[in-house]
Structure 1
């Protein structure tokens, strides 16, 4: 299977776990009065969280199709690296809060799978060109997250 089409499947592993466990986890954290953790979590309904995940997935599919159509592995690998950094952030959250964070388990699995994809194609891709796309990818992600959070809380 083409590398362009595999990553969205890997991405959804993590997102499905988040979607399934986030609402209950947030309610539990807020009920336990864990002020340190509860203050960092915005109020969001399961429906709105699912809509956010759907929007992110649609954006990823658009990026995937664009990269596949233009044969731009550099930009696509920058997206995969940014995703891996996102998963490392979740691992850091779990360590800091000393417990499970929704998306952690399948995030770790998807981190391994996404890293394997990168390793498989490493000989075909210039690391310098991939890292050159990282600032653009980070900007797209940050702008998207800010926009979607504003839209959801509108």
Structure 2
């Protein structure tokens, strides 16, 4: 018998956990457009982050013991308070005592999500560090994930 994942944790319909990965766009300020805080869409903000660091590899301080390949991961722009990207955990690695998550971002869904980011007020959860989506958030993410496929 397969162990059950925490309840409400299946936004992609795959039976996997959903994670929120907070990213501070200001930490990548040298590449951000001047109006990054006010832009309606997040495409330029997400692209600027990718110019600042490898977009598919993120250092983890939490979650690395329970995150698994195949889990969904959503990028949360902390200062904008919105989700702008979605992908799947490819692998976790440890290098010199630091843990990293390697993400395969869903380019098509992420492009749609960047054009119309999901504001925090729609899902409610405030991720202060990498965390599992709570049941309410996971339900909202499941709906949005399906909408992004269209």
Q: Which protein has the bigger helix share? A: 1
- Range class of TM-score, shorter chain: under 0.3
When normalised by structure 2's length, the TM-score is 0.23
Q: TM-score, normalised by structure 1?
A: 0.23
Higher relative contact order (CA 8 A, sep 6+): 1
